[in-house]
Amino acid sequence: MLVVPIAAGTILGLVAYCYILADDRRWLLVAIFSHVLLFVHSSSGGNSAVTPIALTDILFSVVFFPGLALWFFRRIRSRDKIVEGWADVVVFVFLVYAFLSIGLAAYQGFSVEKGIREFLLFVPLLLIFPVRREAKKNKGAQLIVWTLLLTSVTVGLVIVVRYKLDLMAAHYLWQVISNRQQKEESLYMSSIIILLAFLVGNKYSKTLNLFLIGIELFSLAITFSRGYWITTFLGVVASTFFMRGKARKRLLALMVGGGLLSAAVAFLLLPHIFGSLITGIIERAGSISPDALTIRSRLVESEAALGKFVRNPVIGYGMGALFTFYNILTNESLRTWYIHNAYVFLLFKFGIVGFIMFLSMYFKRVSELWELWKRKLETPDNSFVTALLLIPLMMLFLSGTSPQFFDRGSLMILAIVWGIGESMLEGAA
């Protein structure tokens, strides 16, 4: 009896799959949103050496990788221009270099599977090319940005619901903090900056934008990630220096309004623990200190990785390589691939060669956004371009304590920001 509905579902699924892959724009938007499958997955993987492959990983891969391969195949077949500068060349060279480094790690006895899975974290960099092409088309940039925002809000709503369910029986402050939803903070940070830019620039519905900001702020708050709190605040404050005229005054007012709106959202969703939540956030923020145990732990972690780096400084140890350090938080030795400091991660995995390649490409694209910002200084696009510039700048700052350079979500955001920025720069030439 189940054969007919299963067969019908399979046929409909294949038709929908072919329909998505048949059009570049359609695939790109679905590919961006399909990251939700990864971001809301309950198993974060964290610092573990091996994370089980889930159904969500498979579904995402079926959409993302064949579509990306098809996009490049179509461009090559039609002899379209793909590479538009040396920064594009560096992206390809770096990815080849990273892939080959899996063999280096395997030669030292590390897992090939782990190396491949680490390498896949960098593949979203290739979205720069389809994003840049689609952003040049009519309403292409708008659709891409709103797909990113939809992805962010969807993930935010899921973790808010999850947090609420976890705290239904909460009675103590430690329960509020220990149930932190540490997921995709860079999504919320970037979305807040973009949405504020939309509000300041009088783009789209103010009611909708304010509502989305409230969700994003609350989602960021319940991650209890101090680094992202600080960086988001710095990004918003920095916007006041990059924006001009009335936009600056509107932004200052919105900073206060956004905070109040986020508090209102928190009260409506979690009225029974609202006081404890606010207290937890204040205590968490108040614990920021250079002497904090978590900071010292990350310094010990970085020191251990750098100790290995100096023994092989040119090419590093490769994707999949592990190192051991003494974790002062748990009072035990930990063998891991994960390094909170993204700069140290690059040095450990790729050596000076890969470190220079990645950062030279990064700074080149930031310089292009700076040039775009100067050209759009007195135009209605100024606030949006400011957001495009500040997002990668804030990630540079944050990468001293967070994995922006090897985080799938962060790299997807950077690819979108860079692709849209470069399309606007070409149009402004």
Tell me the two tokens of residue 237: 């404050």
pLDDT at 173: 47
Q: How far, in Å, CA of 220 to CA of 218, rounded?
A: 5
Helix/strand/coil (H, E, C) string of the chain? CCHHHHHHHHHHHHHHHHHHHCCHHHHHHHHHHCCHHHHCCCCCCCCCCCCCCCHHHHHHHHHHHHHHHHHHHHHHHCCCCCCCCHHHHHHHHHHHHHHHHHHHHHHCCCCHHHHHHHHHCCHHHHHHHHHHHHHCCCCHHHHHHHHHHHHHHHHHHHHHHHHHHHCCCCCCHHHHHHCCCCCCHHHHHHHHHHHHHHHHCCCCCHHHHHHHHHHHHHHHHCCCCHHHHHHHHHHHHHHHHHCCCHHHHHHHHHHHHHHHHHHHHHHHHCHHHHHHHHHHHHHHHHCCCCCCHHHHHHHHHHHHHHHHHCCCCCCCCCCCCCEEEEECCCCEEEEECCCCCHHHHHHHHHHHHHHHHHHHHHHHHHHHHHHHHHHCCCCCCHHHHHHHHHHHHHHHHHCCCCCHHHCHHHHHHHHHHHHHHHHHHHHHC
Q: What is the mean pLDDT of each run of 10 residues along the chain (429 residues)?
A: 70 84 92 88 46 76 92 92 91 95 91 90 94 92 94 89 68 50 81 89 79 85 81 86 73 68 68 62 56 69 87 91 78 82 93 95 95 87 91 92 87 95 81
The model's pTM:
0.88
Cα–Cα distances in angstroms (integers) from residue 106 to residues 95, 101, 109, 144, in the given order = 17, 9, 5, 38
Give the CA dihedral 120, 179, 196, 136, nearest 10 degrees.
Answer: 20
pLDDT at 44: 41
Q: How far, in Å, CA of 258 to CA of 198, rounded?
A: 13
pLDDT at 174: 43
Closest-CA residue to 390 (of 191, 169, 140): 191
Q: How far, in Å, CA of 189 to CA of 414, rounded?
A: 12
pLDDT at 51: 58
pLDDT at 251: 74
Q: How far, in Å, CA of 124 to CA of 410, rounded?
A: 9
pLDDT at 292: 57
pLDDT at 64: 92
